[in-house]
Amino acid sequence: MKYYDKLVFELSREGRTGYSLPANPWSKGAETLPAALRRSTPAALPQVSEVDVVRHYTNLSQMNFGVDTGFYPLGSCTMKYNPKINEEIAAMPGFQRLHPLQPACSVQGALEVYYEMNKALAAITGMSLFTFNPCAGAHGELTGLMIMRQYHLLRGDVKRTRVIVPDSAHGTNPASAAVCGLEVVVVKSTPEGLVDVNDLKPLLDDTIAGIMMTNPNTLGLFEKEIVEIASLVHACGGLLYYDGANMNPMLGVVRPGDMGFDIMHLNLHKTFSTPHGGGGPGSGPVGVAARLADIIPVPKVVRSSDGTFQVVGASEKTAGQVSGFLGNFGIILRAYAYILALGKENIKLAGKLSVLGANYIKESLKDAYKLPIPTVCKHEFVFDGLINDGAHDEVHGATTLDVAKRLLDFGFHAPTIYFPLLFHQAIMIEPTETESKETMDAFIEVMHKIAAEAAQDPTILQEAPHTTPVRRPDETRAARQPILKFGDAAV
Ligand SMILES: *Cc1c(COP(=O)(O)O)cnc(C)c1O
């Protein structure tokens, strides 16, 4: 164990400080706090020098993995590069120091960003209007479904309480429908991994509020029957919801609005390169077709006839308000910087490169990993485990989990595993458009090496990772009973 693997509490020495604050001349001391609110014993905080604090946090940061430390091929999550220029712009004092309650006349620049971003996303997606209220993808789904429900209710169509979701859908889709009080009806996939139109037809009746689809779906496949599906769902009176969390491959190529979708969300923290994960702020703007524009959540930003931007709070038909104020401005700003930095032509290239990269990896590895759906994919694809796992059964041979754990030893983050549920040993890979051919080649080489190890001696994989600070925690206990404090420290 290295010295600085010690916890900061173990480095603590009575009376040591790293920094001394000048006395506050205005303070009247702790005695001004009501006695009931005062601590009887001092907080058990570590007492360490400044250099120990710096090393503690720097070492901690290096025990983690992020897009800035290595290749992160997480399918269905689009972990792409976060350009640093986005961060610089979001940190500009004129943006960072805004307060949401400032009068509109003092935040015209920020309101213009909302307004212009709305136009940019409408152009990219073929939708008419966006709301930036939702703070994540799943939050966007809930908002979109609230809009769908409100649309039917405003027409007095109260019977439509069921939503169709494909069996390949991201788990948040059925969850959002349930949270919105709608009943989920599952439509099956064909062996080719696409929505089965013959299974869909009998489900369509006057109780269907709509369908939620991801296109390309979570297998990375384009739903070729989308135009027919759209006309079937519309003919029965339902609406189409588009899960655009990972819209990379479609950027500048196809627009959900043109495919027939009425409502959609985007994950700015995936497709539009803003930071992602760790529970940080996200943004899941929801766009709607023109006939639903009155129903989107308030407040929204409009441009007055004199050219100034205003915040409009009230609307008779709105599905409601789903967050405080206008949504996570810093994230919207980063995504806006990304869109402007790329421009129209390069955004198209982003879509195409994400597809090229995924197909390159798929074709390079299909001799070693089972490829259940061999057609051309979009930005991601799914393997169903190793072809030669070393023992040909899950007890003695190497599983998908073992492959994922072994990858960590080579400095790559694992792909998404055991999702989608359609395949037992799913390994879902998405390289994203921001990776070079050299990085993908290095990944392909390691995946081949792991496959060779599995065939010769699966225990190398079963005991992996060998080099990470933590090896194989009990994943259930690590999630359900995390130990988040040191010893009995009363913190
Ligand atoms: C990530 C993702 C979501 C959910 O987005 P969050 O921001 O994590 O709530 C929904 N659908 C798909 C397809 C996704 O990949």
Of 116-120, 185-189, 322-326, the least confident: 322-326
**CA of 246, closest atom in ligand 1:** 15
Q: What is the pLDDT of residue 29?
A: 67
Whether residues 304 and 368 fall in one domain: no
The two three-digit tokens of residue 238, written as one number: 């339902």
Query: Atom 2 (ligand 1): residue with closest C-alpha?
Result: 245
Compute CA distances 12 → 7, 16, 47, 48, 335, whole Å.
9, 8, 5, 5, 42
34 CA to centre of ligand 1 in angstroms: 46
Chain-wide mean pLDDT for the chain?
Answer: 93
In a domain, 482, yes or no: no
What is the per-residue pLDDT for 370?
97
Q: Is 433 in the pocket of ligand 1 (CB under 6 A)?
A: no
For 230-267, how does the pLDDT look when each residue is reduced to its tens digit (9 = 90+)? 999 999 999 999 999 999 999 999 999 999 999 999 99
Our answer on whether the CB atom of 77 is closer than 6 Å to any ligand 1 atom is yes
pLDDT band at 63 (very low <50, low <70, confident <90, very high): confident
Residue 92 covered by a domain: yes
Q: Which of residues 21 and 240 earns the better pLDDT score?
A: 240
Q: Kindly report the CA angle at 342 between 338 and 345, in degrees rounded to 5?
A: 145
Nearest CA to ligand 1 atom 6: 137
Mean pLDDT of 414-427: 93
Query: Helices (H), strands (E): how many in the chain?
Result: 15, 12
* pLDDT value at 279 more than 70: no
CATH of the domain at 260: 3.40.640.10
Write down the H helix ranges in 6-136: 8-11, 50-62, 84-90, 93-96, 108-125
CATH of the domain at 365: 3.90.1150.10
Residue 377 — very low, low, confident or very high, per pLDDT cuts 50/70/90?
very high
Instruction: Note whether 354 and 337 are same-domain residues.
Output: no
Q: Check whether residue 298 and residue 201 sit in a common domain.
A: yes
10 Å CB burial of residue 262 (0-12, 13-18, 19+) is buried
Judged by DSSP in three states, 74 sits in strand
Q: What does the pLDDT look like over 133-151, one tens digit per residue?
A: 999 999 999 999 999 999 9
The reply to whether 490 falls in a domain is no
Residues 6 or more apart in contact with residue 178 via CB below 8 angstroms? 184
Per-residue model confidence (pLDDT) at position 421: 85
Strand order in the sheet with 381-384: 381-384, 426-429, 416-417
What's the CA-to-centroid distance between 108 and ligand 1, angstroms? 31
Mean pLDDT value of segment 361-372: 97
- Sequence letter at residue 2: K
Alpha carbons 160 and 290: distance in angstroms, whole number: 21
Residue 439 contacts residue 411 (beta carbons within 8 Å): no
224, part of any domain: yes
Same domain, 380 and 277: no
- Check whether 487 has a pLDDT greater than 80: no
Ranges 39-43, 81-85, 409-413: which has the least confidence = 39-43
Closest CA to 450 of 392, 407, 416, 417: 407
The response to whether residue 248 sits with its C-beta less than 6 Å from ligand 1 reads no
Tokens for 94, please give them.
């004129």
211 closest CA partner among 178, 234, 181, 180: 234
- pLDDT tens for 213-235 read 999 998 899 999 999 999 999 99
Q: State the amino acid at position 67 in one-letter form.
A: V
With a 6 Å cutoff on the Cβ, whether 172 touches ligand 1 is: yes
Mean predicted confidence (pLDDT) in 141-168: 96
What is the spatial distance between Cα 435 and Cα 428, in angstroms, rounded to a whole number?
Answer: 17
C-alpha of residue 154 to centroid of ligand 1, in Å: 29
Mean pLDDT computed over 419-441: 94
Q: With contact defined as beta carbons under 8 Å apart, do 8 and 46 qualify?
A: yes
Q: What is the band of 209 on the pLDDT scale with cuts at 50, 70, 90? A: very high
Contacts of 388 (CB under 8 A, 6+ apart): 368, 451, 454, 455
Query: Taking residues 180-191, what's their average pLDDT?
Result: 95
Domain end, chosen from 301, 321, 341, is at 341
Kindly state whether residues 197 and 332 are assigned to the same domain: yes
Q: Is there a single domain that holds both residue 319 and residue 362? A: no
Q: What is the model's pLDDT at position 422?
A: 85
Same-domain pairing of 426 and 449: yes
Residue 100 DSSP class: T
Same domain, 264 and 151: yes
Report pTM. Answer: 0.89
In a domain, 491, yes or no: no
- For residue 68, is it within any domain? no
Considering only 17-31, 196-210, 235-249, 424-438, which range has the smallest mean pLDDT?
17-31
Compute the average pLDDT of residues 267-295.
90
**With bands split at pLDDT 50, 70 and 90, how would you rate the model's confidence at 393?**
confident
Same-domain status, 10 and 52 = yes
Instruction: State the Cα–Cα distance between residues 286 and 298, nearest whole angstrom.
Output: 12
Residue 488 has what pLDDT?
Answer: 59
Contact between 379 and 246 under an 8 Å Cβ cutoff? The reply is: yes
Distance CA 416, CA 429 (A): 7
In a domain, 71, yes or no: no
The percentage of residues in the chain with a pLDDT greater than 90, rounded to a whole number, is 77
Lowest mean pLDDT among 19-23, 45-49, 88-92: 19-23
How does residue 19 score in pLDDT terms, banded at 50, 70 and 90? confident
Tell me if 75 is assigned to some domain: no
Number of domains in the chain: 3
Residue 89 and residue 41 in one domain: no
* β-pair type (426-429, 381-384): antiparallel
The answer to whether residues 113 and 8 belong to one domain is no
**Residue from 332, 321, 311, 289 nearest 143 by CA:** 321
Q: How far is the CA of 172 from the centre of ligand 1 (A)?
A: 7
The pLDDT score that the predictor gives to residue 30 is 59
Residue nearest to atom 8 of ligand 1 (CA): 137
Report pLDDT digits (tens) over 397-419.
Answer: 999 999 999 999 999 999 999 98
334 & 237 share domain: yes
- CA-based angle 416:197:231, to the nearest 5? 110
Q: What is the mean pLDDT of residues 92-117?
A: 95
Instruction: Report the pLDDT value the prediction gives residue 24, as an integer from 0 to 100.
Output: 81
Q: Which of 290, 323, 341 is the last residue of a domain?
A: 341
Distance from Cα 170 to the centre of ligand 1, integer Å: 7
Determine if ligand 1 sits within 6 Å of the CB of residue 137: yes
On the question of pLDDT at 64 being above 60, the answer is: yes
Comparing CA positions, the residue from 339, 411, 350 lying closest to residue 66 is 411
How far apart are alpha carbons 339 and 346 in whole angstroms?
A: 9
Q: Which atom of ligand 1 is nearest to the CA of 136?
A: 7
331 lines ligand 1 (CB under 6 A): no
Q: What is the pLDDT of residue 77?
A: 86
Q: Is the pLDDT of residue 490 over 50?
A: no
Please state, as a whole number, how many other Cβ atoms lie within 10 Å of the Cβ of residue 320: 14
Ligand 1 neighbourhood includes 430 CB (under 6 angstroms): no
The number of the ligand 1 atom at minimal distance from the alpha carbon of 276 is 7
Any idea which residue has 């307060």 for tokens?
A: 99
Residue that is last in its domain, among 306, 325, 341: 341
420 lines ligand 1 (CB under 6 A): no
Which residue segment(s) compose the domain that 265 sits in? 84-341
243 lines ligand 1 (CB under 6 A): yes
Q: Does 308 score more than 50 pLDDT? A: yes
